[in-house]
Amino acid sequence: MKSDIKKKRLSSLLPILVTTLFIFTGCGLEYFDEEMLIGSWSATDGYDYTFHSDYTGESYDKEGGLPFTWRLDSDELILRFTGKGQAGKTAYLTFVIKELSNKKMVAYDKNDPLEEKIYFTKK
């Protein structure tokens, strides 16, 4: 008798559990193909970026370039500059990607409270 009650409760909860699963799956982070990043990009932040397939790269402005290593974590593109930053600390830059294709990327600096978009165009 008790097992019948448990089965009925479980069968009535199952649709709720499935619906909850779909809701949380829909709210997940974006995942982008890192192969699309490989190559050189011009960006509206005043820098050019080159991403190599071995997860190294360089950023350039009119004053010169800085080497970095990179990784893509779902929608976050994390650059770790291999030179030393202020006070001898390693510098990081994290872009949150909103769009990515073979020719264009739209992102913003994770530390920018205004989330101003930066547009990247593949060279």
The pLDDT tens digits of the residues spanning 19-53 come to 444 444 445 457 899 999 999 999 999 999 999 99
Measure Cα distances from 109 to 24, 76, 81, 99, 116 in Å: 26, 10, 15, 14, 8
pLDDT at 22: 42
Residue 9, pLDDT above cutoff 80? no
- The domain segmentation of the chain, as residue ranges, is 34-122
pLDDT at 75: 95
pLDDT at 112: 95
Higher-pLDDT residue of 18 and 89 is 89
Look at the block and give the residue holding tokens 């097992």: 3
Q: How far apart are the first and last CA of the chain?
A: 71
Beta bridge partners of 39: 51
Mean pLDDT of 93-117: 96
The pLDDT tens digits of the residues spanning 49-93 come to 999 999 999 999 988 889 999 999 999 999 999 866 555 567 899
Dmax of the chain from CA atoms? 79
pLDDT at 23: 41
Flag whether the pTM goes above 0.75: no
Cβ partners under 8 Å of residue 63, min gap 6: none
Do residues 100 and 84 lie in contact, with contact meaning Cβ atoms separated by under 8 Å? Answer: no
Tokens (6 digits) for 76: 């976050």
Mean pLDDT of 11-23: 47
CA Rg, the chain, in Å? 22
Q: Is the domain defined by 34-122 classed in CATH 2.40.50.100?
A: no
